[in-house]
Chains A and B, each alone.
Chain A
Amino acid sequence: MAANGDTLTSQSYIQHHLTNAKACFTDEGLSFNYACSDAGFWTWHIDTLAWSIILGLVFILSFRSVAKKASTGVPGKFQCAVEMIVEFVGKSVKDTYHGDSKLIAPLALTIFMWVFLLNCMDWIPVDWVGTLSSLIAGESWQTIESGQSHVYHKIVPTTDLNMTFGLSFGVFALMIFYGIKIKGVGGFLKELYAHPFNTPWLYWFNLILETIALIAKPVSLALRLFGNLYAAELIFILIATIGLYQLPVHFVWAAFHLLVIPLQAFIFMMLTIVYLSMMSEDH
């Protein structure tokens, strides 16, 4: 951000907010941010990693404590909420997945809650955590206010392609695993080359078509989540650049995300279940 002059422009402001905190190993050992600009593949986005692990733990531990404390007495509010979520996810899985698997429902619940919590970070005002981490790193208030901060911090992990592709590759691996487990290697491959047109001289065409369809699934899953949250975060940052009148506009945009954020988590979960049930049904 400091590269282009000492005034704070909205362009550099937005770019600063959309840059991940990077870490990598160079010749001098562990380095951060600028030193990592040409580190290539082995660059770690430590903010994405940290927030996703923290929120994953929040989900697991809070749900676990509710499950441990559950009794036949009158449930508390939090227990009620957890039960509603679990029942809702369980019902969605039962309606869509007709096979027999112990993994699908817990997987769907984990995906739904994790993606939901990751998306929820979108509601945290865009400057709070970034400014706080700059202050903790020991930068003066003037430096931060003029946009010279060298500390990057992007708190919404789903606005990072690495996170969404990580999730969707996990789903993709499970799709292939279930396809092979339920139909066998032969059945899985047969679905690839003999599906729309079951005549030997069109096998090559089937193979191209089905392979593209198979690969498009995780890619579209990841890009849909990323695109929505990235656009949302970008517009939050744009609103933050317009001065005092940002407050009512922020409110409207945040209220709109009461719909978008659970919906995107739900769609990710639902499509995961649908893809897995497609893989476990014989044609």
Chain B
Amino acid sequence: MTLIAVAILIGLGALGTALGFGLLGGKFLEASARQPELAPQLQVKMFIVAGLIDAIAMIGVGIALYMLFVIGV
């Protein structure tokens, strides 16, 4: 059961983050191709959102590894 839970935690976390980062990076490239003078401002905002997206997945990975290695299978 722990293994399944860990697999779901890491797998769905990776899926969500991948989708989020794909959307984020794609929109950023689109926007800065359209208006290159806005790119520095957008980059700062992109990193904020990147941190927000990254946080949830990282926490999920942390909990998953804690379950796997500390609590035990």
| A10 touching B69 in the complex, CB below 8 Å, given contacts A263-B47, A266-B47, A266-B48 | yes
Is B62 in contact with A267, judged by CB distance below 8 angstroms?
no
Q: Does A264 contact B (CB under 8 A)?
A: yes
Is there contact, CB below 8 Å, between B65 and A224? no
Q: Which of B14-22, B29-37, B51-59 contacts A (4 or more CB under 8 A)?
A: B51-59
A14 at the interface (CB under 8 A from B): yes
Binding-face segment, A40-48, A74-82, A232-240, A243-251 = A232-240
Q: Is the interface of B mostly helix, strand, loop or mixed?
A: helix
A228 at the interface (CB under 8 A from B): yes
- Cβ–Cβ contact A238 & B62, under 8 A: no
> Which bucket holds chain A's interface residue count?
20 to 34
B69 lies within 8 A of A11 (CB): yes
Q: Which of B58, B61, B72 has the most CB of A within 10 A?
A: B58
A224 near B66: Cβ-Cβ < 8 Å: no
Residues of B within 8 A of A10 (CB): 69
A92 CA to B52 CA in the complex, in Å? 17
- Residues of B contacting A231 in the complex (Cβ-Cβ under 8 angstroms): 58-59, 61-63, 65
Contact B48 A270 (CB under 8 A): yes
B1 contacts chain A at the CB level, 8 A cutoff: no
Q: Are B55 and A224 in contact (CB under 8 A)?
A: yes
Q: How many A-B residue pairs have CB under 8 A?
A: 56
Q: Are B58 and A227 in contact (CB under 8 A)?
A: yes
Interface size of B by Cβ–Cβ distance < 8 Å? 19
Select which of B48, B54, B58, B69 is within 8 A of A14 by beta carbon. Answer: B69
CB distance from A20 to the nearest CB of B (A): 16
Rounded to whole angstroms, the CA-CA distance of A11 and B65 in the bound complex is 11
- Any B CB within 8 A of the CB of A230: yes
Contact between chains at A228 and B55 (CB < 8 Å): yes
Q: CB distance A267 to B48 under 8 Å?
A: yes
Interface residue? B50 (CB, 8 A)? yes
Q: Most A CB atoms within 10 A — which of B52, B63, B65, B70?
A: B70
Chain B residues near A146 (CB, 8 Å)?
none
Let me know if A55 is at the binding interface, CB within 8 A. Answer: no
Note all chain B residues with C-beta closer than 8 A to A37. none
Q: Could you mark each residue 7-38 of chain A with 1 if its beta carbon is under 8 Å from any beta carbon of chain B, else 0?
A: 00011001100100000000000000000000
Cα–Cα distance between A230 and B63 once the two chains are bound (Å): 9
27 residue pairs of the A-B complex, CB under 8 angstroms, read: A11-B70, A11-B72, A14-B69, A14-B70, A15-B70, A92-B44, A224-B55, A227-B62, A228-B54, A228-B58, A228-B59, A230-B62, A231-B62, A231-B63, A232-B62, A234-B62, A234-B66, A235-B62, A260-B58, A263-B47, A264-B51, A264-B55, A266-B51, A267-B48, A267-B51, A267-B55, A270-B48
5 pairs of A and B residues whose beta carbons are closest in the complex:
A231-B62, A227-B59, A267-B51, A263-B51, A224-B55
